[in-house]
Amino acid sequence: MTWTPDQPIVSLKDVHKSFGTVEVLRGVSIDVMKGEVICIIGPSGSGKSTLIRCINALNDIQKGSITVEGLEVNDAKLDKLALRKKVGMVFQQYNLFPHKTALQNVMMAPIKVLRQNRAEVEQRARGLIAKVRLEGKEAAYPGELSGGQQQRVAIARSLAMNPDVMLFDEVTAALDPETVKEVLTTIKDLAAEGMTCILVTHEMGFAREIADCVYFTDRGVIVESGPPATFFDKAQDPRTQQFLSQIL
Amino acid sequence: MSMIRQDAKAPGHLAVLHPMRLHASALPLAERMFNLWTFTALILALAAFLIAPAFAQDATPDDRSIVAILLEWTPTLAGGFAFNVLISILSMAIGTVLGVILGVLQVSPISPIRSIAWLITQFFRNSPWLVLLFYCILLIPFQIEIGDTTIPFPGWIKATIGLSLPVMAYMSEYMRGAILSIPTGQWESAESLGFSRRQIMVNVILPQTVKRVLPSWMNLYAVLTMATPLVSIIGISDVMTLTRAALSAEGRVDLLIPMYLYILCWFFIYCYPISAATRRFERRFAVNT
């Protein structure tokens, strides 16, 4: 099946995932169109992170289908490299390589995985570091950077692979409040450029501002979804209302 | 575990439940008291005490002083000691390379490989070094003929291989521990960037294990060096063999203790800086991690 831009770039259909006997996802379906920004919110343990990790095959699923640009993820013969070239991911704990400088972190995957020319990669990597507003920090090691700076290097590192979709897994949850904004600004810039973004987040104000669609998950299912204006102001489901009243 | 810690804070806690730990301040003090100079002074004092009677004994037919005899034998003994150092460096190099490979195989996702690597590691880690040494001497032929070329295996090479086996096993365990101590986030982020398992191991995980393994590795080298006199038992001209030869050539009973003490001092002077540096590394990295 070939994918065309009028079809969803990421499509989840009736996704089920269990860890042992614990059912974490119980039939989740989401369609994301190219250039869309969607935010997944919900209480802890509702399966948000698992959901996003399934999209780039860090977790496998037991039932259902996930496709990225027509590539079926739930397939034993999946070409993981092909998938990961399409999908970039940023983690809560940044997970930069501590033995490499910021620039080397960004350059490593294109050189080692895509076997691209070092000089070209370096030029692009410097551009990406400038894009996440970290000029002058190219030679710094992750341990010398603040959480927010590390997270922006992590975003640049993912972008270096030229992904079509970016996954953000609670990327501001481990940050100091004053550095949250710089990371959110970076994501906002990306979204404005038309990058397809799937975010798991606790930043409601940010979700309202940036998302095309907000999904509320609870106990492994999507309870409610909609454009932020409707979702935040006119939530229908009592569980959504209760969650929003606690958090807003 | 956390429950035990919390309980321990309560009055009437059980001290035995605490993890055994030296006080952070106790180590630097001990370090200051027992530094290289104090130790050297102590050993020299001991040596003087043992050597002194020899000067008093003017009844010996040989009127050379013990110090003079030791100096006379020093070049020969130094040659033997250099051989010990050579064997230790070669065994360490072979053992390290094999140990890193074996350690990586111990965390292989393929279960039979993991089991075999585990078995080899455990077998050599729990074997007496001397027995391994004998085994290598007996099992490895003194030469191997491949076509027309003959590759000789002199005793000291067999001994080097024999000593490298336990080094390999210890190294394998250190590597396994270090690899498993790297946070899983490192694997996941590299995986999501498209790295294969082998690429992650080589580019991300192994470079990060260096810092963690270094103190144990240096300590292992010091232990190995101190174990090299074992090769004298199988007739290799190391410092121990030459010391015994020198003693029998001199035939003086009063020379026994000073000469062995002399050799001990050499090992001490060679190994102490290594273990001191190891402790410094350990302390520095303990703060960082």
d(CA B271, CA B226): 8
The confidence score (pLDDT) of residue B1 equals 42
Residues forming a β-bridge with B143:
B152
Q: Has residue A2 been placed in a domain?
A: no
A 43-72: CB under 8 A from B: 56, 58
The confidence score (pLDDT) of residue A41 equals 93
Q: Which of A58, A99, A112 sits opposite B192 (nearest CB)?
A: A58
- Shared domain check, B112 and B38: no
Q: Are A13 and A65 spatial neighbours (Cβ–Cβ below 8 Å)?
A: yes
Domain span including residue B188: 66-287
What tens digit of pLDDT does each residue of B131-173 get? 999 998 888 888 888 888 888 888 899 999 999 999 999 999 9
Q: Has residue A3 been placed in a domain?
A: no
**Residues, chain A:** 248
The confidence score (pLDDT) of residue B279 equals 86
Q: Which of B188, B196, B207 sits opposite A58 (nearest CB)?
A: B188
- Shared domain check, B40 and B112: no
Residue whose token pair is 């030229």: A162
Q: Find the mean pLDDT for residues A96-121.
A: 96
- Shared domain check, B267 and B188: yes
Chain B residues with CB inside 8 Å of A158's CB?
192-193
Least confident of A95-99, B248-252, B263-267: B248-252
What tens digit of pLDDT does each residue of B91-117 get? 999 999 999 999 999 999 999 999 999
B186 near A CB under 8 A? yes
What is the residue-averaged pLDDT of chain B?
A: 84
Chain A residues with CB inside 8 Å of B195's CB?
109, 112-113
More reliable by pLDDT, A37 or B46: A37
A93 near B CB under 8 A? yes
B109 near A CB under 8 A? no
> Among A113, A114, A157, A117, which Cα is nearest to A134's?
A157
Q: Is the model's pLDDT at B18 over the cut of 90?
A: no
Q: Has residue A4 been placed in a domain?
A: no
- Shared domain check, B106 and B22: no
Q: Has residue B56 been placed in a domain?
A: no
What is the residue-averaged pLDDT of chain A?
A: 93
Residue B9's Cβ-side half-sphere holds a number of Cα atoms within 13 Å equal to 4
B181 near A CB under 8 A? no
B189 near A CB under 8 A? yes
What tens digit of pLDDT does each residue of A142-189 get? 999 999 999 999 999 999 999 999 999 999 988 988 889 999 999 999
Chain B residues with CB inside 8 Å of A109's CB?
193-195
Q: Has residue A5 been placed in a domain?
A: no
What tens digit of pLDDT does each residue of A183-226 get? 999 999 999 999 999 999 988 989 999 999 999 999 999 999 99
The confidence score (pLDDT) of residue B4 equals 44
Q: Has residue B252 been placed in a domain?
A: yes
Q: Is the model's pLDDT at A245 over the cut of 90?
A: no
- Shared domain check, B157 and B281: yes
CATH (domain of B171): 1.10.3720.10
Q: Find the mean pLDDT for residues B40-64.
A: 65
Q: Find the mean pLDDT for residues B208-220.
A: 93
Min Cα distance B40 → chain A (Å) is: 39
d(CA A19, CA B169): 36
Q: Is the model's pLDDT at B261 over the cut of 70?
A: yes
Q: Has residue B58 been placed in a domain?
A: no
Find which of B192, B202, B212, B285 to mutate to test the A interface (most A CBs within 10 Å of its CB): B192
A95 near B CB under 8 A? yes
Q: Has residue A1 been placed in a domain?
A: no
The string over B106-134, giving b where at least 16 C-beta atoms fall within 10 Å of a residue's C-beta and e elsewhere, is bbeeeeeeeeebbebbeebeeeebeebbe
Q: Are the Cβ atoms of B183 and A95 closer than 8 angstroms?
A: yes
- Shared domain check, B23 and B79: no
A/B interface, count of CB pairs below 8 Å: 54
Q: Are the Cβ atoms of A91 and B196 closer than 8 angstroms?
A: no
Q: Has residue B272 been placed in a domain?
A: yes
Number of folded domains in chain B?
A: 2
Contacts by residues B117-123 (CB-CB < 8 Å, ≥ 24 positions apart): B117/B172, B120/B169, B120/B172, B121/B169, B121/B172, B121/B173, B121/B176, B122/B169, B123/B169
B196 near A CB under 8 A? yes
Domain span including residue A198: 10-247
Number of folded domains in chain A?
A: 1
Cβ neighbours of residue B189 closer than 8 Å, sequence gap 6 or more:
A89, A91, A95, A96, A97, A154
Q: Has residue A95 been placed in a domain?
A: yes
Chain A residues with CB inside 8 Å of B191's CB?
58, 84
Q: Has residue A161 been placed in a domain?
A: yes
A148 alpha carbon, distance to own chain's centre: 16
The answer to whether the complex's ipTM is over 0.90 is yes
- Shared domain check, B271 and B134: yes
Q: Has residue B55 been placed in a domain?
A: no
CATH (domain of A172): 3.40.50.300
Residues forming a β-bridge with B152:
B143
Percent of chain B at pLDDT > 90 equals: 60
The pTM of the full predicted model, rounded to 2 decimals, is 0.81
Q: Are the Cβ atoms of B192 and A93 closer than 8 angstroms?
A: no
